[in-house]
Structure 1
Amino acid sequence: MSEESSKAGPGSSVASHDVRPVSLDDVDRQILHLLQQDARMPNNALAAAVGIAPSTCLTRVRALRNAGVIRGFHAEVDPAALGRGLQAMVAVRMQSGARNRLAAFAQRLAARSEVLDLYFVAGADDFLVHVAVEDSDALREFVLEQLSAFTEVALTETSLIFEHVRTSSSRHG
Structure 2
Amino acid sequence: MKTVSAIELDAIDRNMLRVLQTDGRISNVDLARRVNLSESACLRRLRALENAGVISRYAALLNERAVGLPLSVFVTVTLASQAQATLEAFETAIAGVPEVTECYLMTGSADYLLRLVVRDVDDLERIHARALTSIAGVTRVSSSVAMRTVVKRGALPV
Runs of 5+ in structure 1 lacking a partner?
A: 1-11
Match 1:139 to one of 118, 124, 144: 124
Query: Counterparts of 1:71 and 1:166 in 2: how far apart (Å)?
Result: 23
The answer to which structure has the higher helix fraction is 1
Name the structure 1 match of 2:11.
26
The superposition leaves residues 70-120 of structure 1 with CA deviations (integer Å, 9 ceiling, x where unpaired) of: 111111112222222222011111112554221232232122221122222
Letter in 1 for 2:39: P
Match 2:31 to one of 21, 30, 46: 46
Query: What is the alpha-carbon root mean square deviation over aligned residues?
Result: 1.9
The structure with the larger Rg is 2
SS of the counterpart of 1:57? helix
Q: Following TM superposition, by how much is the alpha carbon of 1:162 offset from its aligned partner in structure 2, in angstroms? A: 1.8
Alignment of 1:3-82 (within 5 A): 12-13=1-2, 18-20=3-5, 22-82=7-67
Query: Counterparts of 1:172 and 1:165 in 2: how far apart (Å)?
Result: 17
Query: Counterparts of 1:49 and 1:140 in 2: how far apart (Å)?
Result: 48
Residue-pair matches, total: 157
Name the structure 2 match of 1:171.
155
Contact 2:101 2:115 in 1 (8 A): yes
Q: Following TM superposition, by how much is the alpha carbon of 1:142 offset from its aligned partner in structure 2, in angstroms? A: 0.9
TM-score, normalisation: structure 2: 0.87
TM-score, normalisation: structure 1: 0.80
Contact 1:97 1:152 in 2 (8 A): no
Match 1:149 to one of 111, 127, 134: 134
Query: Counterparts of 1:167 and 1:144 in 2: how far apart (Å)?
Result: 28
Identity %: 33
Contact 1:116 1:132 in 2 (8 A): yes
